[in-house]
Amino acid sequence: MNQDFDVVVCGAGAGGMLAAVRLHDLGLRPLVIEKSSRYGGTSATSGGGIWIPDHGIGVEPDSREQALTYLRAVCKGDYRDDKLAAYVDHGGAMIGYLASIGVPMVSIPGFPDYIARAPGASTGRSLFPPELDGAALGEEFHRLRDSPNGYKLFGRYALDLQQSFTLSERAFGWQWTAARMLLKYWLDLPWRRKTPRDRRLTMGRALVGGLRKAMLERNIPLLLDCGLAGLRVEDGRVTGVDAVSGGAARRFTARAGIILAAGGFEQNQKLRDELLPVATNRNWSLTPSGLNIGDPLISGIAAGAATESLDANWWAPSMQLPSRTEPNIDLAVPMFFDHRHPHSLCVNRLGQRFVNESCSYDEFGQAMIADHRRTGANIPCWMIFDASFRRAYPCGPILPDFVMPDRRIPHEWWDSHVFRAGSLGALAAKMDVPAATLIASVRRMNGFARAGKDEEFGRGENRFDLFFGKKDVGPNPCMAPVETPPFYAVRIDLGDLGSKGGLKTDARARVLATTGAPIPGLHAIGNCAGSPFGNCYPGAGGTLGPATVFAYIAANDLAAQARP
């Protein structure tokens, strides 16, 4: 079966959907294909943030020069200045375009860049979508990929980012925040008779839902269960897509070109083993199982494309816990905030600290890799906390003990995934960690906490750390002693939010051949392409930022080329 379009977009995440809407508004006829039965991809399972410098929203000062100073200071590995400049120069226009199609973004005042100690670092560059009423999507609401349970209160009530911060940090007014969420859900009786799911779309689902609504308003076709199988190349130009839908082969011809937006390769264990710097398991990834197995990467290489940054991922620590519905299956749970809370520390399997626990999740993952290369005793590592932590803070799905006392923690978690003991020595024995070293690490950390200065890793000494600090903890709001029994430990694995490397692209999102020249008719965005930041995660929204900005750039480029 052959169908002709101006542009075929492969992948229905935020980048692919934005590209399709922009292409339509520039006068082209796009088609979006998606291998899954649900649209949204990893964008829908994300926090929905878009990191954009100099965006013009809010009052926090920023400039092109300051943003490029920061990016040049923190980016490492495979990155090019022309792509950084294109990113900064087009980001504000992309955000303005999102607002014009009904997908506004808002800034969280004071939210710092992840590497806040670097020159040019600022605050307010991370933008987030406001809540969206899912009823606006009609039946398409039911085809939107669900968010992970970690983004819901009690696995049911959708959290926006501010609510997530308030509840996980137990910030002032957290009880009222929880009460309002529950009340809003239970008063929505007509909707709940149709579906048990919360109709509030927040975080990544709000962003994807808004883009899907824009597609529906423009009658842009979206084919689900239709996956990329290969690229059609004629006389050196990519002219179409071979796809598989319901087991049947389909072919789509693209007059203007193809945009690959179908994610990375993090769910492909073979590629992980071949490309990543240390041994990892795809089950540690926080992305949906089986979704991103590298189809665009494999297809692009077959068409002659070069690659970049294939040894990098968007790292994020994860914890494995048994599935409550599937026997003998462990599921990855995100540990974005947990290791930052006071009354805790993280150690390798020698019982030694190796990281500023209050750093960003990507820096945490990179510290795990560096320590493992040095000691061979990381990946996994351990998070240690005490009864004071249990009273106040969550640890993954383990809620504070006033909500989830120890007796309510599933029995199958104990001594396999969660460990508890009356002393640090007994805890070390359960963890198979040298007791003397662990005890010494905790004592040293406790001394730092009482003095207010972490002499090993500088915990609590930069703007990012302090943003999540606790006002009722001092003298350093990021640290407190680990001294009140019982003591607990959970294993932390080297998880990720997706692969960071992919097809090599230029500042116009054109895929480059191994010769260095652009491949006519082929663009790639998001995790299909190498990150413009190289092996760096500059701030919250550092994954969706490139996906959306270069989607905007690619659409503009294709439309310009298609004009007579």
Identify which of 366, 355, 318, 362 has the alpha carbon closest to the alpha carbon of residue 478. Answer: 355
How many Å apart are CA 183 and CA 194, to the nearest integer?
Answer: 18
Report the distance separating Cα 510 and Cα 503, nearest Å: 10
Q: Are 386 and 488 in contact (CB under 8 A)?
A: yes
**What distance in Å separates the CA atoms of residue 48 and residue 205, rounded to the nearest whole number?**
7
Name the E strands within 66-119: 106-107
- Residues paired with residue 252 on neighbouring β-strands, in sequence order: 3, 241
Q: What is the DSSP string of 409-427?
A: S-GGGBTTTEEEESSHHHH
Q: From CA 52, how far away is CA 65, in angstroms rounded? A: 14
- Can you give the pLDDT at residue 1? 41
State the pLDDT at residue 176.
60
pTM score: 0.92
By CB atoms closer than 10 A (0-12, 13-18, 19+), residue 245 is middle
312: nearest Cα among 101, 42, 498: 498
pLDDT value of residue 161: 66
Nearest to 95 by CA among 138, 130, 50: 50
Under 8 Å between Cβ of 200 and 134: yes
Using the structure block, give the residue that is written with the tokens 């077959």.
302
CA-based nearest residue to 501, from 524, 537, 530 = 530
List strand residue ranges (DSSP E) for 129-193, in order.
132-133, 152-153, 157-158
Using left for φ > 0, alpha for ψ between -120 and 50, and beta otherwise, residue 58 falls in: left
Per-residue tokens: 195: 């579906």
Q: What is the pLDDT of residue 182?
A: 65
Distance CA 499, CA 497 (A): 7
Burial of 274 (0-12, 13-18, 19+ CB in 10 A): exposed
- What per-residue confidence (pLDDT) applies to 263? 96
What's the length of the chain? Answer: 564
Q: What is the largest CA-CA distance in the chain?
A: 76
What is the per-residue pLDDT for 3?
83
Could you state, in chain order, the average pLDDT of each consecutive group of 10 residues for the chain (564 residues)? 85 98 98 97 94 87 95 93 97 97 93 96 95 91 82 64 63 64 62 63 94 98 96 96 93 96 97 97 93 96 97 96 76 91 98 98 98 97 98 90 92 92 98 98 98 97 94 94 98 97 98 97 97 96 97 98 77
DSSP bridge pairs for 518 = 512
